[in-house]
Chain A
Amino acid sequence: MNTLLVWSVDVAQILLGIAMACATFRLVCGPRAQDRVLAFDSLYVNAMLLLLAFGIGSGSTLYFEAALVIALLGFVSTVALAKFLLRGEVIE
C-alpha cells in the first residue's frame, strides 16, 4: 500500500538531485562571484528539501532537525558572503 509513497520519495529525491547538480554547475562555472553565492544559496535549500524527503521515506524524526540546522546555517553563511561582496569585510 505504501508503494506509491516509496515511489514518490524516490522520484522526489532524483528530481532534487538533478536540481542540486544544476546549482553545482552554476557554482563551479558561474561567471562572477555573485552567481556563485546565489548558486550556493539554491544548493543548500535543495539539500534541505532532500533531507526532508529522506525523512519522509525513512519515517524517522532525526532528519527534520538536520534540515532545520541546514536552513539556519545556510542563511547565515549566505548573508556573510553577500555582506563580504558588498563591503569587502564581513564584520565592520
Chain B
Amino acid sequence: MIQSPEVSSLVAVITATLLVLGAATTLVGALGLVRLQSFYQRAHSPTLGTTFGVACVALASMIYFSAAGTRPILHEVLILIFVTATTPITLIILVRATRLRDESIPTAESSARD
C-alpha cells in the first residue's frame, strides 16, 4: 500500500516522531476512558486525543506533505482548529445533560439505569 514519495531523512524523523507521539497520547486518553471510575472523571480523558493527539498528527501530516511537495501546506490547520474548538462545546453540553439526569433521577437507581 505504501507509495509514499521520498523525503529527506530529517523530515522523516520529525514526521515519525510526531506521528507516534500523537498516536500514543490518543491511546493514553482512550485507556483513561476505559479505566477511570465515574463519568465526570471519564469526560476528561479523551481530550488528550482531541488536543495533543490531533495537533501532533496534523503537524506531522503538514510537515510531510509540504516536504514531499505534492500540495500546499496548511490544510490540516482546518482540522486542528475545528476539533480543538468543538470539543469543549460537546463536553459542556454532555456534562450539563449528565448533571440534569443525575438530579432528576435518584442515585440508587441511576447506576442501574440504561
B-binding residues in A (CB < 8 A): 1-2, 4-9, 11-13, 15-16, 18-20, 22-23, 25-26, 31-35, 37-39, 41-42, 45-46, 48-49, 52-53, 55-59, 61, 64, 67-68, 71-72, 75, 78-79, 82-83, 85-86
Contact = CB atoms under 8 A, between A and B. Distances in A.
A19 B57 contact: no
Interface residues of B, number: 63
A38 B16 contact: no
Contact of B76 (A9, A19, A52): A52
Contact of A48 (B12, B13, B46, B79): B79
State the majority secondary structure of interface residues on A. Answer: helix
Nearest to B8: A1
26 contacts: A2-B6, A4-B9, A4-B13, A9-B2, A9-B19, A15-B23, A23-B33, A26-B33, A32-B39, A32-B110, A32-B114, A34-B101, A38-B39, A42-B30, A48-B54, A49-B54, A49-B57, A52-B61, A53-B23, A53-B57, A57-B2, A59-B3, A72-B82, A75-B86, A82-B90, A82-B97
Interface of B: 1-7, 9, 12-13, 15-17, 19-20, 22-24, 26-27, 29-31, 33-34, 39, 42-43, 46, 49-50, 53-54, 57-58, 60-61, 64-65, 68, 70-71, 75-76, 78-79, 82-83, 86-87, 89-90, 93-94, 96-98, 100-101, 110-111, 113-114
